[in-house]
A and B are shown apart, each in its own frame.
Chain A
Amino acid sequence: MDWLFFGEVSLAGLATGGLYALIALGFVIIYKATRVINFAVGEMMMISAYLFLTFAGLLDWPWYVSLPLAVIGGSLLGGVIERVAIRPMLGENPISVVMVTIGIASVLIGLAEMLWTADPQLLPDFLPGEPLFIGEMYVAPKSAWAFIIAACVIAIYLLYFRFSRGGVALRATASDQAAAYSMGIAVPKVFSAAWIAGAFAAAISGILVAASGGLSPQMGVVGLSILVIVILGGLDSILGALIGGLFVGWFETIAGTYLGGEYRQLATFSLLALILIARPYGLFGTREIERL
C-alpha cells in the first residue's frame, strides 16, 4: 500500500468532510430548534452558489462583494422558506413537514433551471491557487482553503452558541420549547434565526463546494450525504455532526478512490444501515425514551 497516496487521499477526504461538517451543523441547528428535517439543504446550497455565480461571474463584481451578497441572499432564502412554508406547518406531523421541504427542493431545482439553465457551469476562481504541501503530501489548494474557511465558520458557530444570548435562547428552545416560551424567549424568532443560521452555513459551503466541483441544478444531491451524516452522528447532536461530517467525507473519498466512484454512495449508505441497526439514534443522538 502506498502510504503517501493514502495520506493525500485522506487529506482530500477530510477537506470534503470539513465542508460536510459545516452543512451538517446548519442542518442540526435547524433540527434542534424547530424539529424539522430539512431535505432541501442541498438545494439551498445550490441557489447560493448560483447567486455567487451571478454576482461574480455574470455581473463581474469582485469576489469580496459577491461573496457576502450571495451568502446574505442564501440566508435570507432560508428565512423566507421558514416564514412562508414551514411556519404554517407548526404542529403538523413530521411526515408532512419533511414533504414540504422536499417540495421546496423541487421548486428550487426548477427555478434554478429556468433562471440559469440546466447546463453545468464553472464559478470564477476566487480562492488562492498555490499548491500546498504538508510534509511530502500534496493538498489541492482549493480544498485546503475550503477546509480552513469551513473550520473558521464552525468555530464561530460553536462560540456563538456557547456564549451569546441568541445561542442560549436557541439551546433553551431546543431542550424545552414550552419552558423557553414561558421564560420569555420569543420562540418564533428563534425558529427564524435557526433557519437563517442553517441557510448561512449551507450558503457558504454551497459556494465552496461549487468552487471546486462546478455547479449545476443537480448539485443538491450532496444533500443526501448530509442526511447520512446527521443520522450517523445523531440528528440533534452538534458534536455528532462535526465528527460524522469529517468521517463520512473521509470514508466516501477513500471508498471512491480505492473501489471506484460509483461506490461512494454505496459505502456511505451501507455504513448508515449498519449504524442504524447497532445504534438506532446515531452515535451521539438523544435516545427517545418512551414511558406509559
Chain B
Amino acid sequence: MRIGDAKTSYIADEQILDTPVRRAWFTALLVLIAAFPLIGNDYTIYLACLVAINVISATGLNILTGFTGQISLGQAAFMGLGGYTVAVLASRWGVPFIFTLPLAGLASAAFGVLVGLPSLRVKGLYLAIATLAASVILHFVFAHWDPVTGGIGGISIPPASLFGYVLDRDRDMYWLIMALAVLACMGARNLFRTRVGRAFIAIRDRDISAEVLGIDLLRWKLYAFALSSFYAGVAGGLFAYFFRVVTPESFPLTMSIFFLAAIIVGGMGTIMGGILGAIFMTLVPEALRFITSAVTPFYPQAPVVLSPMREVVFGLLIVLFLIFEPHGLAEMWRRLRRFFHLWPFRT
C-alpha cells in the first residue's frame, strides 16, 4: 500500500508514470485498448473509434483553451479543414494516406496561425467571436467553393491504405485511430513538462507576468493555436477517412460547442480532462438513444419526447458541471485516486 508521496528530486516529481502501480495500470490499459477489437462487436468498435477521434480533437482544444487560456469557437472548422484537405488530396490527386494525414494537420495549423493572429490585440470573448467569425467564413467556403469542395454534396474519399493493406472497415481503422489518440495524449502530456508547455501555462495564468518573464506573447500564442489546430486537423482527417465522406454539414458550429463542453465537463487544463470529457460527451447521447429504444415498446411516443431530451441533457450537463464541479471529471478522478493513496486516512 502506498500512502502519500515522498519525492526527492524534481525529475521524480515530474515523472508521468511515477509508481510501479501506475505503470502497471497504464500497461493494462494499453493492452485493453489493443485487444478491444477481439472482444468488441461492430457497434462498440464504431463507438470506440468515434470516441478516440473526439479525444484527439478535445485534447487539441484543451491545449489552446485549457492550458493557454485562449477561447476558441472554431475547433469544428479546423477539423473540417483537415477533413477537406484529406478529401481533396486523396480523392483528386491520389496522394497516399501516409502523407494526407500530416498534411491535413499542417493545413489546419497554418489556418490556426492565421486565426490566432489577432490574439495579441483581442482577448477573451472578443477572441472567441473572432474564431467564430473565422469558422463561419470557412464553412461558407466549404459549402460554396464547388470546384474544390464539391459544394453541398461534399466529397467521398477512397479508403485509407497502409503498406498496401486497405483499411476499409471500422475494425481496421480502429488500431490506427487508437494509436494516434494515445500518441496525441502522450504528446500533449509530455508537452507540459517542457518549456513550451510551461510558457503556455504562464500565458494562461497571467499574460502580463509571462511577458515580463521574457515570453514573447504573440509567438507562443500562435504556437498554441498552431498546435491545437494541428490536433484538430488530424482528428478531422481521421473523421474523413472513418466516414469516407465530408460535407459542409459534417462539421457544424454545434460541434465546436460540443468540444468546448467536453473539456469543461472533463476538466479544463488537464490532459485527463480532455480524455474523460470526450468519452463522456460522446457516450451520453448514445446512452440516451439506447434508453429511447428500450422504452419505445412500452411507450410509443418516446422518440418524439426523448430526442429533444438529448439537447436538454447536453445543456444541463454543462450547466450543472460548471456550477457544482467546475474542475470537471478529472477532479473527481483525482479525488478517487487520492482516496486510494491515502486510505485508511481521511482524504
What is the interface of chain A, defined by CB distance below 8 A to chain B?
A: 37, 85, 88-89, 92, 94-96, 98-100, 102-114, 117-118, 224, 227-228, 231, 235, 262, 265-266, 269-270, 272-273, 276-277, 280-281, 288, 290, 292
Contact = CB atoms under 8 A, between A and B. Distances in A.
Nearest to A40: B315
The 10 closest A-B pairs by CB, nearest first: A106-B315, A110-B311, A103-B318, A113-B308, A110-B312, A107-B315, A103-B319, A103-B315, A280-B122, A269-B133
Interface stretch (B10-18, B38-46, B123-131): B123-131
A100 B264 CA distance: 10
Contact of B311 (A95, A113, A262): A113
B326 interface: yes
Contacts of A228: 129, 133
Interface of B: 65, 71, 118, 121-126, 128-130, 132-134, 136-137, 140, 143-144, 208, 212, 257, 260-261, 264, 268, 304-305, 307-319, 322-323, 326
- A103, A105, A114, A231 pick with most chain B CB within 10 angstroms: A103
B133 A272 contact: yes
B144 A102 contact: no
Say what secondary structure dominates the interface of chain B: helix
A35 to B, nearest CB: 10
A244 to B, nearest CB: 13
19 contacts: A89-B322, A92-B322, A98-B128, A102-B257, A103-B314, A103-B316, A106-B312, A106-B315, A107-B319, A109-B315, A110-B310, A110-B315, A111-B308, A111-B312, A114-B309, A228-B129, A228-B133, A262-B144, A276-B133
A266 B140 contact: yes
* Interface SS of chain A: helix
Contact of A281 (B126, B260, B316, B319): B126
* Residue in A108, A227, A228, A273 whose Cβ sees the most chain B Cβ within 10 Å: A273
Contact of B130 (A85, A89, A235, A273): A273
A99 B260 contact: yes
B208 A290 contact: yes
Contact of B71 (A95, A108, A110): A95
B327 to A, nearest CB: 11
Nearest to B141: A266
Contacts of B208: 290, 292
Contacts of B128: 98
A276 B130 CA distance: 7
